[in-house]
Structure 1
């Protein structure tokens, strides 16, 4: 991997490799810039940062492997019953197979290249030759520190040990500077500390994020003379804050990290902070927008999404993974028996019927996945949104960490109420059982279920390739092997 990163850094020093021709929030990045030119104006800095978000939405990271495909296959989301199926080796945890190893290398290498690019931006923002006003500079830096934390954390969740039992085990390197010098593999607990340190920095820098005052879209456009009371000039770059790593993203990720690390009080506090302040902006989905909207159904519950990427390839990925035209051996699909088990046959659940249905073109006789199918109206604000963090997860975190079962159940029921399900009686439920059900239903195609299993060190999970039965789980399946490109260099 070092050779790849070194080449990337050398190129980055004169030609910024991460800028693409794709559009991200109405700003068109240029293909190439000399580094000193790129960072000498606020507009060009914005272009560079757009490139980071565009690259994060690629198939190699959050536009595929870490959401809809690889990580969900590891969670037994889909049926891969025989060795002629597309993801059979991955679903069987045959980590020694070349195709599986190539996938892991793709994730590892691309995530660290993104981290390298983020570090280069942070270093240049520290110098601030563009003379960006402090209130806007803090937003830009806050986003980058938050993204650096998120990428390292997800690498830890995949390649690190089962944290609840082996937190002191060697895990991954943490890169907090733009360097090609190989960094040590750190104990998982040290990585968590560094993630939380970056998140604390992000939260502080984003304290005056316009999302806290104006919500996810409506930043003041200024008066007729071009003045802006907010100091953000009303440009598109500082709007649509749910499509950038914002203040609430940082607090929500803080809750997620603390939960993973077993810090229940801190996880609960951070999650409640997001709910208490953020629910006014990230409101519950309107059922009519899901059930009655036809070809414009908001199947991702976009109003609740705290942080998403604008993935212009989202519907291509849907066609690659889930479209009914794909042959039976390549399509990602869950058996109807498993679907009925997961959703308990309840068609009133907004996450079931709109997302899973038999295609009308008769290409398949079984239900296929429609969550990320394109919508008819190209002007809808949620078009191309790839959800990464959502408000419902904050409720689940409080439900899991709240000592008072009555209060915990209230948070769980808040989600159920907005999914078309009846409330549960706190005196009659087993909270871990109900939370597991919710993670299975809520995060299809978003890559969170495998992490739930690993965090709880579950000894067995449902076999996605069978209509019943389970697969035994242990460290050999939960801990992905470091790619050979990484281990080979460390042996030199």
Structure 2
């Protein structure tokens, strides 16, 4: 049987031997080791520790965004080997290059490290007596949702495309369900996705009556201390945490990947239709006004985002920045001169090393520690994606047109009359315009199994879409 050995996995007893090994949290959230998971606050701190691991994974210069997954999509100018051998290898799917393999391996490791810590929480919660029933549902729901979400992202990178070997007996990736120093067995597509759905659906049920985001607006929850009953556990800032609606969004993504359009439609629709008590939308589409108020990554839309503690954008937007393309390409991506994404999210770098008059995204340019912007989250799941899922899965073209118009009008994009023949093309165009520099574009190409990449023209096949698992993470018998 194919198996994988995750080198950082260790017995549960060692996880409790050092705060540095596990609870990597801010000082105000630190708990002593002997109190770890013996108080409600301990569970809160354990979850915070997982989110801090994710900051190493989901950031603009990280492998899962700008330095790997976006590069696979060839949306940026090809970096030369002299500029960066690792990035050049990612651009050209040269998985055997050592520098690329190390970058991929570091991200792979961090994602499974986060999963391992979630497994510690989930293992402990089975017998804990320190949490109320509501607290237990809340913590377990959030941990299960994160575990399912992370395993899905691992599959979107290292697993097969939906039309490649789906449902066969081929063993593709491991699904980690417990803390162990044993080899984790590989699973086939059916078993792996059954685990994803199990985690996310159980999480949905648990969070459906325990998550504060259901009962209060994001505006209120984003002000710490505004709700007395959540003060002790700090259950605020739900857009920074994997909340109920983020779980629905993840389920919509997974079901769409699996080709279950009716289910994807239902989950996405619940997010889009969600309202606060006063009738306002729980998550509204962002506007040019939001961008003008320094919300360039549209935090108002985020079902889930990772906080940018310690982020410094200078290397991302400097002379050596690799996340660039030409003005010609950007004009192709954004044909409408009034598109708020084109007008607000790009600038020219005349001295860039890769291309003359390089166009670079400003999406993360106000998120450094000293920047005045109050919006400092890397977007992971946004309501705009839910609108595009509804366009793709709506039962009629007329309904798809309604969702498309609502979305496109919010961006001041050109009007398009959808037909069965042009639906996929227009969906792909909007994914490209909307998620530039967010790491989502490659996943769309892979899900749709495009035979070539739109910008580079690179021919694609199943071997390129299934990114090689880092060499250091596989057992020698593979």
Q: Is the 8 A contact 1:392 1:415 kept in 2?
A: yes
Q: State the TM-score, normalized to the length of structure 2.
A: 0.89
In structure 2, stretches of 5+ residues that fail to align are: none
Query: 1:486 — aligned with what?
Result: 473
Check 1:3–1:203 CA distance in 2 against 1; reply closer, same or farther (3 A cut).
closer
The equivalent of 1:355 in structure 2 is 345
Q: Secondary structure at the match of 2:306?
A: strand
Q: Size of the alignment, in residue pairs?
A: 462
CA distance in 1, matches of 2:472, 2:326: 36
Please give the secondary structure, in 2, of the residue aligned with 1:471. Answer: coil
1:238 offset after TM fit, Å? 1.3
Structure 1 residues 321-369: Cα deviation after superposition (integer angstroms, max 9, x where no partner): x313x33xx532112211111111x231111121111259999843222
Q: What's the secondary structure of 1:289's corresponding residue?
A: helix
Alignment of 1:88-487 (within 5 A): 88-129=88-129, 131-167=130-166, 168=168, 169-208=170-209, 209-219=211-221, 232-234=229-231, 237-277=234-274, 280-290=281-291, 292-293=292-293, 297-314=294-311, 316=312, 318-320=313-315, 322-324=316-318, 326-327=319-320, 330-344=321-335, 346-359=336-349, 365-374=357-366, 380-383=373-376, 385-426=377-418, 430-464=422-456, 470-487=457-474
**What value does the CA root-mean-square deviation take over the aligned residues?**
2.8
Supply the distance in 2 between the matched residues of 1:360 and 1:165 (Cα, whole angstroms).
43
Moved more, 11-20 or 242-251: 11-20
Secondary structure of the residue aligned to 1:388 is: strand
The structure-2 alpha-carbon separation of the partners of 1:82 and 1:202, relative to structure 1 and needing over 3 Å to count, comes to same
Shift of 1:193: 1.1
Structure 1: segments with no counterpart, 5+ residues: 465-469
Aligned to 1:166, the other structure's residue is in SS state coil
CA displacement, residues 199-223 of structure 1 (integer Å, 9 cap, x when unaligned): 0110011012110110224249999
CA distance, structure 1, for counterparts of residue 381 and residue 222 of structure 2: 25
Give the Cα separation in 2 of the matches to 1:240 and 1:186.
35
1:60 to partner: Cα distance: 7.5
1:9 and 1:89 mapped to 2: Cα distance? 37
Partner residue in 2 for 1:5: 8
Residue from 36, 47, 52 that aligns with 2:45: 47
**TM-score, length of structure 1 as denominator length:** 0.87
Equivalent residues of 1:149, 1:198 under 8 A apart: yes
With over 3 angstroms needed to count, the CA separation of the structure-2 counterparts of 1:42 and 1:428, relative to structure 1, is closer
Distance 1:353 1:154 in 2: 31
Asked if the contact 2:11/2:181 (under 8 Å) is kept, the reply is no
Shift of 1:420: 1.3
Query: Which range moves more in the overlay, 176-185 or 47-56?
Result: 176-185
